Amino acid sequence: MADYYDLLGVSRDADPETLKRSYRRLARQYHPDVNKDPGAEDKFKEIGQAYEVLSDPQTRARYDQFGEAGLGGGGMPDMGDMGGFADLFETFFSGFGGAQQGGGGQRRRGPRQGDDLRLDLTISFQEAVFGIEKEVQIRHLETCTTCKGSGAKAGSGPTTCSTCSGQGQVRRATRTPFGSFTQVAPCPTCEGSGQVIADPCNACGGQGLQQVRKKLRINIPAGVDSGTRLRVANEGNAGQRGGPAGDLYVFLTVQSHPSLRRDGINIHAEVTINYLQAILGDTIEVDTVDGPAPLEIPAGIEDEELLSVPGRLDAVVRVRADSHAWLTREERDLSYDLPLSITEATLGATVDAPLPTGGSVSLKIPAGTASGKKMRIAGKGMPAFNGRPAGDLFVVVQIVPPRDPSEMTKSLLREIAGQIENPRARIAHLRG
Ligand SMILES: [Zn+2]
Ligand SMILES: [Zn+2]
């Protein structure tokens, strides 16, 4: 068969809309009810097959990579969009009787393929990740056991249809969006079989089929997602008059998980740690698809960092450091306010400045240090992490008055007050 892109007359990078437009135009042109040229029907089928493959991103990718060989024989993937061709066909050619199976092959009398059926199935997040075998109950049509599918009462048989004289077809004129056509349609009396059942089977009313409840075990592979369709071959409705059975399509819906979510093949958990855990590092417990697992938080981790949980599938953890009571952070630098007494600030002192990572450093305060002075302690901010250097720690001096001063303290301070310069002298001068 020719290259699918050539068949549809599009380039290899055509977007889905272009594909669909081109397919619709060609399908109208070559539809066997419209185009009577020899070969039109074959061409129509080829276009349909090409579109079926290229309209599904999965099969298109396989075709791009491996050509027709990548499609596995008939080019019918077990998973994926099987609806594209049939849907379009119905939309465009619903005026043409008996066109539902495409290509016109079903207009012939004789065996008729059973319908495909849909089953909606909801599974849990874990089941989707690990795969599971599920037992489901379905209802479908099976070949009638009483008449073995013939539709006739035991001892009787079908007789020739009088409407079509056994031809199975009638001619009729049909108006369509593309003009008026005389077309051959299946006989409405015998539905194209050319035969009618004079004495129908009581069990199935002459249909040769009966509704049956059936339990099925469905194997759901690991890694499915909402929207995945699984095909269970031959579990649709049975065919009539010996025709093949349709298939059962299982449409999956995957329930969400309270703390995990899917991102392609990865699974994300979101955990929140506090500031100190981000600075110091910690080992915490996180949910994974197979239970809680320890997660090591490295010291100095960045906000929104992704961490893998080793040995636990592809679980990934998002870490978000929350706010801290007295530390503020800018990039990898940390800062906090360092309270000083009036005397320490005035006379100078050596004080212990606590470090966020624990412990403290000795900090020399020069005499005459004013509130707001920023002092740098190099390398004591966020610890080095993942090739990024450690940040610095900044302490901002705040001079605080003595709390609850005694009478003696007050008296001493009053004495000092007369001795020291008015700190507002300079701004008084500027005001004139
Ligand atoms: Zn029967
Ligand atoms: Zn008939």
pLDDT of residue 321: 65
Ligand 2 midpoint to CA 152 (Å): 16
Block residue for tokens 């073995």: 148
User: What's residue 142's pLDDT?
Assistant: 94
Distance CA 268, CA 310 (A): 14
Which CATH number belongs to the domain containing residue 306 in this structure?
2.60.260.20
Is 0.75 topped by the overall pTM?
no
Q: Are residues 6 and 100 in the same domain?
A: yes
> What are the per-10-residue average pLDDT scores of the chain (432 residues)?
86 88 87 81 88 85 77 43 36 34 42 89 90 92 90 84 86 72 79 83 88 93 88 92 90 90 79 82 84 85 79 65 75 91 93 88 94 94 84 94 91 88 74 56
Nearest 5°: the CA angle 384, 387, 390 is: 20
Q: Give the domain CATH number at 58.
A: 1.10.287.110
Number of domains in the chain: 3
Ligand 2 center to residue 143 CA distance, Å? 22
What does the alpha-carbon distance between residue 30 and residue 36 come to, in Å, rounded to a whole number? 9
Q: What is the pLDDT of residue 399?
A: 94
Supply angle C-alpha 171, 172, 175, rounded to 5. Answer: 145
284: helix, strand or coil = strand
Provide long-range contacts, Cβ within 8 A and 24+ apart, for 168-177: 168/108, 168/109, 168/192, 168/193, 168/194, 169/107, 169/109, 174/95, 174/96, 174/97, 175/95, 176/93, 176/95, 176/96, 177/95
Calpha distance 312→309 (Å, rounded): 6
Instruction: Note whether 316 and 347 are same-domain residues.
Output: no
Residue 43 lies in a domain: yes
Would 399 be classed as within a structural domain?
A: yes
Question: Ligand 1: distance of its center to the CA of 284 in Å?
Answer: 66
Which residues, by Cβ under 5 Å, contact ligand 2, an ion? 161, 163-164, 187, 189-190
Q: Which two tokens stand for residue 280?
A: 């110091």
Q: How far is the CA of 73 from the centre of ligand 1 (A)?
A: 36
220 Cα: distance to centroid of ligand 2 (angstroms):
44
Residues 334 and 317 in one domain: no
308 with 337, same domain?
no
H-assigned helices in 352-406: none
Q: Which ligand lies nearest the alpha carbon of 211?
A: 1
- Encoding tokens for residue 11? 């380039």
| 3-class DSSP state of 50 | helix
**Cα–ligand 1 centroid distance for 210 (angstroms):** 7
What pLDDT score does 365 carry?
A: 95
State in Å: Cα 149 to ligand 2 middle.
Answer: 19
The ligand whose atoms approach the alpha carbon of 203 most closely is 1
